């Protein structure tokens, strides 16, 4: 898939049209990538998030990027992994799809995702990586307005899983 890439890096440093935040339903910040994005974007991001009145798991909302190099932040609360019997896989698919729909609606051509739900939400990485690249590939096949999507992985183990999931698609 030439328009999907996997890189090792810090998503807060990426100068793209939109970065995605693995948020929680409050949209008022947290730890992990969410904390890093709010720290780098500055307090104006939290101020805008307060006007959004939260977000359901699997859905997404968009804000400006403020002090980030990215123009927009698309916030999506991923599912907390329980046992797999609570619709977690469908909810994760819905996160990726909802974010890409918002990106299209806002004229974003380049979008970077973190590995949603695989940190403190404990979604198994092998399943999550397959869901992510499969959902992104299906969306891009129908939406040429998005030129490039990258998975920005924060550690080598995560990157290895996304590399493998992408190779399986080809």
Q: Which residues are catalytic?
A: 34
Cα distances (Å, whole numbers) of residue 23 to 27, 34, 163, 165: 6, 6, 24, 23
Task: Please state, in angstroms and rounded to a whole number, the distance separating the CA atoms of residues 28 and 165.
Answer: 32
- State the nearest-atom distance from the C-beta of 142 to ligand AR6, in Å: 26
From the list 29-37, 54-62, 82-90, 135-143, the region that binds ligand AR6 by CB under 6 A is 29-37
- Residue 29 Cα to chain centre, angstroms: 15
- Locate 34 and state its tokens: 């969410």
Burial per residue of 30-66, b for 16 or more beta-carbon CB atoms within 10 angstroms, e otherwise: bebbbebbbebbeeebeebbeeeebbebbbbbbbebb
Closest CB to ligand AR6 among residues 32, 124: 32
Q: Rounded to the nearest whole angstrom, what is the least distance from the CB of residue 170 to ligand AR6 in the complex?
A: 23
Shortest distance in whole angstroms from residue 6 CB to ligand AR6: 12
Provide, rounded to whole angstroms, the least separation between the CB of residue 115 and ligand AR6. 4
CB nearer to ligand AR6: pick between 36 and 138? 36
Helices 32-41 and 43-50: angle between axes, nearest 10 degrees: 110
Site for ligand AR6 in 100-119 (CB under 6 A): 114-119
Site track 50-89 with ligand AR6 (rule: CB under 6 A), x = hit: ----------------------------x-----------
Beta bridge partners of 110: 148
Residues lying near ligand AR6 in the complex (CB under 6 A) are found at: 10-12, 22-24, 30-34, 36, 78, 114-121, 152, 154-155, 158
């Amino acid at each position: 898939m030439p328009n999907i890439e996997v890189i090792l890096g810090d998503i807060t440093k990426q100068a793209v049209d939109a970065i995605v935040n693995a948020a929680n339903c409050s949209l008022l910040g947290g730890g992990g990538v969410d904390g890093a994005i709010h720290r780098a974007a500055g307090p104006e991001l939290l101020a805008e998030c307060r006007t959004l009145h939260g977000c359901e798991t699997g859905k997404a909302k968009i804000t400006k990027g403020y002090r980030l190099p990215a123009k927009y932040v698309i916030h999506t609360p991923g599912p907390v992994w329980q046992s797999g019997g609570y619709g977690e896989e469908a909810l994760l698919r819905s996160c990726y799809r909802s974010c890409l729909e918002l990106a299209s609606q806002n004229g974003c051509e380049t979008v970077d995702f973190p590995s949603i739900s695989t940190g403190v939400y404990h979604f198994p990485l092998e399943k999550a990586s397959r869901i992510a690249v499969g959902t992104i590939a299906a969306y891009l096949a129908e939406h040429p307005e998005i030129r490039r999507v990258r998975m920005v992985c924060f550690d080598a183990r995560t990157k290895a899983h996304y590399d493998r999931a992408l190779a399986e698609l080809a």
